[in-house]
Structure 1
Amino acid sequence: MIISSSNLLLQAGNEGKQNMVMITLQSARESSGYSIKELANHCGLTEECYREYEDDFGKTPARVAHKIRTLFRISLDSFYIEE
């Protein structure tokens, strides 16, 4: 089960698994005070390309995901990826 509130998600596991708080890329960016332009520049991307990854983090190449993870100082497992 996934409960969503303002792009922060709580995913409840089955059979005693720990609950996991997840965040969308947009939420991480906004709560850190970065603009799309700043993140795109940090990752070496166009703003349009960055927006596509923000819309679907699952399409983000590993090198870009690593830059994002390092900047936000959170695990890639913390990002919500729509299935």
Structure 2
Amino acid sequence: MYVIVVYDVDQKRTGKMLKLCRRYLHWIQNSVLEGELTPMQLKQFKAEAHKLMQDNDSLIVFASRDEKWLEKEVLGAERGSTDTFL
């Protein structure tokens, strides 16, 4: 499944959350990541993220069966491209 994750955590945990997210997904902009995950990977990711989070932190997960069901348009500079050149 295609997943977009947006997080907002306390500054003290930002680095740890980004590191966790990048193990599963591709970084595209500040606190936004995207990529393909299996249902089990998504479940594992959410469990690990939950352990890092505290009361005022948030994690939003948008999930779709396939990336083709989403239209993505980038205005301005793209921070982290998911395109891979070989």
| Shorter-normalised TM range | 0.3 to 0.5
Using CA pairs under 8 Å that are at least 6 residues apart, name the structure with larger relative contact order, 1 or 2: 2
Question: Between Structure 1 and Structure 2, which shows a larger proportion of strand residues?
Answer: 2
Question: Between Structure 1 and Structure 2, which shows a larger proportion of helix residues?
Answer: 1
